Chains A and B, each alone.
Chain A
Amino acid sequence: MKIPAEVKISDNGFVFNSKTGDSFSLNPSGLELMKMISEDKEIEQIKEVFLSRYDVDELTFEKDFYEFCSLLKHFQITVQDNPMDFS
């Protein structure tokens, strides 16, 4: 899962897709997640950070993570290189 160059992420959580003109607001944990995705971090690495930093169990994190990823795909914020990659 990649965030294309046309998607700009501001430090305050404002996300702008310059190709579609769509814009979104992220809350602090969404921004943290998005930044890690943009740094090409794997889900295992992201999970480790979130579990150590927040009061969340593994199952809840995974559920929320995949939901977040499907939202990113839906709004064309991410592109999928490998069609078998569901993360």
Chain B
Amino acid sequence: MSTEDTSAHPGRWLQLAGPGRDEWPGARAHPVPAWLRFFNSELRLVFGRPRNLALLGVLAIVPVFLGILLRLTIGTSGGPGGPPFLNQLAGNGVFLALVVLTLTLTVLLLPLSVGVVSGDAIAGEAGLGTLRGLLTVPSGRTRLLAVKYAAIVVFSLTACLIVSVISLIMGFILFHVGSVTLLSGTTVSLGSGVLRVLTVALFAGAAMASLGAIGLAASTLTQHPVGAIAGVLVLTVASEICDQLPELSAIHSYLPTHYWLSWDGLFRSPVDWSGIEHGLVSYAVYAVIFVAIAWAKLTSADITS
């Protein structure tokens, strides 16, 4: 050790002068990835907040209630109408997940959950005053935003997977389970059907992660999380309405919600990926634009909260 070239260690003299003293803060790069520690802390914050757990709880209960409700009603009237795949439900429980995902997306349950978490991301910290604490640590503004968005993405995927997995379980309990008949009439194995449903869940998760970027941007514009959350929901509803108006068909494919349900190609044989592909491109573009807005705002903002 003493023969080591000390010129590579400008601080060596200090170590010799003051053995038994703590590190000089801020001077040493850590072997343990610090971003992982921060990300962990953020995940624990998001998934440990009682309100967020309640949201996930509601998302978990919806498939249970909806499954029971559909089981009771479908026995008597299996007629047309209602969300897509409802008719197939009596034939196979796998489709419960698709019905529930469609409903939770369109009646805003999933967007609400992601809106709450993403709208709260920065505005919530600003409202509590913890933002100034984090920034003076210093956490770094870009780093804070990256960790926040990563946690939003994880929450989005988790929310969609919870809905799907519990729907699958309820579908298996309440309905007939077996090989799956696709929209194109072909029959595939149950495993393939479940895989397709989980792909839909991930696709919905990507949609929610993209919406989360919008929420994150809104969150940097206000100190009131409620404002950011409301903004996300208003935008979602407005987009869905615009998507229904034939007069606006020229802009339909540019709307953030346009591809949310465009996964029916997965249930054809051969699989038609075009809806999924277009959707992912749209989500990625929205995510990049809005994360950039959030970054531009947060890195230049005066933190007066």
Partners in one complex: no
Q: Show the binding face of B for A, using Cβ within 8 Å.
A: none
Interface on A for B, CB 8 Å cutoff?
none
